[in-house]
Structure 1
Amino acid sequence: MAASLAPLDGAAAKAPAPDIAACQPGGPCAHPLPVKVVVVTLFEIGADSGDAAGEFQLWKERRHLDMRIPFPQSYHDLYYDPKTQVLAMVTGIGTARSSAATMALGLDPRFDLTHAYWLVAGIAGIDPQDASIGSAAWARWVVDGDLAHEIDAREIPKDWKTGYFPRHTKGPNDTATPPDPSGGEMFALNPALVSWAYRLTRDVKLPDSPAIAAERARFAGYPNAQRPPFVLEGEQLSAMTFWHGKLLTDWANGWVDYWTSGKGEFVTSAMEDTGVVQSLTYLDRIGRADKDRVLVLRAGSNYTMPPPGEDAATYLLHENEGYAGLQAAVESLYLVGSKVIDELLADWGRYKDSEPR
């Protein structure tokens, strides 16, 4: 039996059925849906609409992504607006799910992704040395934090700061030039596209609240952490372990500095982005996606380390009960990301064949 498309409200029900209604998920499709932008979110809280918003809900509700498209080969069904040709996905948490979901979409013949731009939009831990919760950072590099060697800290040599160090090195004190990161250790995004997105959005006013103002006020001695939310450029470190603390924040800064040869600045911590970008890199080789049309936007829902005077364990466990900046972060992602999408759609005749600069 052919897969069905399930519109979720009256507006979507009035739209003519798209050609892919007769196509099986992953199967051949004579008339694939054209896609201009793919919004990649990583998780949702509860329902897809009508309750507390995770990363996906605002996109679905505010951009009228009412056409539900079955996607059984992945974590979550897809949602699409036939008018704007914007498609949104929820990959599931973690690099394994994000890479599998991205590859599954890229290889699905029901979609024409030839000219699509990909916007990864997710919450993150944010380094208080660089920004405040609620702030949104455009990544220039996406760095993997999992591909490494490790020795338990209780067994490391006395002159080692950490037992965690890059492959191809002789320890954490080895400052040799990084090897070619073809193993997936680091991905450089299209610098012209990232710079364009930042210039377009750097003056966007982001949401603030008394609650997050009180939280950032605790970070005495960290002026960027005490600023109201703002848009910046800064690198994203992907690692499957939810790490936290001053020492690990120092490690993250050193890790990103190493893999970008001193050109990058660690700003946000998350899990999925190297999986997404790795899949798109492979898909680019067969013409199913364009790796130069990828943007990664992360907004701080929590700090990567505690404020002065509080220990890492206490702060982490408290944050796990509910991130202080979660709602501000998802609003920031929508506001900043939508400005980019609106510009792409408004001048699609130009951007279909040539990336913004």
Structure 2
Amino acid sequence: MATLTKNEIKITTCETSKINSIDFSNLAFGQVFSDHMLTCDFKDGKWQSPEIVPYGPLTLEPSAKIFHYGQSIFEGMKAYKDANDNVFLFRPMDNIKRLNISAKRLAIPELPEAYFMEGLKALLDLDKDWIPTAEGSSLYIRPFIFASGEGFHASPANAYKFIIATAPSGAYFSGKVKVLIEEKYSRSANGGVGFAKAGGNYAGQFYPTQLAKDKGYQQVIWTDDTSHEYIEEAGAMNVFVRINDTLLTSPVSDRILDGITRKSILELAEAEGIKTEVRKVKVSELVEAAKNGSLKEMFGAGTAAVISPISGFGFRGEDFEIPEQDNSFGLQLKERIVAIQTNKTEDPYGWRMKV
């Protein structure tokens, strides 16, 4: 495996920073981009030396295979500052490991871990001032790889580009969301790429989600691809259900992303004395729990929002509301995760990495 230190990375800085033109008190999610980005090319059978350059447009041939065969993967991460201006990442090694799991599934060359981690550290050192400090805000980090090699032949590309771009962002969601349980369209299938963070997974979600929005919902709950009998994910997030005082979530599979927030919630819940079950959850079980009052909470879990509460769901023309809980497991676990991420509490799990 290739080795690298951040001091070995070539850096070309922008002539003029745009940071003073940014209203950090009014940040939308992922709409404003920092001054620099990390880039690294794969060519001649190996990854070249990464470098940091000013954030800006890319030049690609129309025959670049990303446009034709969709070899594209990404990750989502955040950087945080504490009260002493220290910078932290949350479980970053899980991100590089998952990026390479996705790469392998899409026939993309795996990226050396040192290129990812040392490149990210160097980028954060350079753009440290872009990390916001307001409550609920962070520097969103988007590492991604796509096929830059050229040709119309249906085969893996011979060249790829790895980029890390960053965006100072406010909260991803505000308020609760109402979801529709999807029974026709599927997010992914057995043997497919649902477990990978592939761009095509998300492209395929947009149309059914828009259909749900047209009916007055904000998102969909995906069900399994064969029987549509079991709930699997909430939009682009893992989904949790609280029935009475037990927190349920689906097991990961070919179809379900092994979410880093999901894993953290399960471990924290155990430490907090919250009973958890990782098992298949039937739609019929969810409906019955909503009818008899044992359904206490539903929420999505992912990097961007951490936890996104679900206020109700629709199924076969009927809507079910989920009452607010005074002792919300979702909010309790979100507070614990954010406190670890932002260095406001001890981290007994070794999840927080100081940059």
What TM-score comes out, normalization by structure 1 length?
0.30
Name the structure where strand makes up a greater proportion of residues: 2
Instruction: Pick 1 or 2: higher relative contact order, CA cutoff 8 A, min separation 6.
Output: 1
What TM-score comes out, normalization by structure 2 length?
0.30
Name the structure where helix makes up a greater proportion of residues: 1
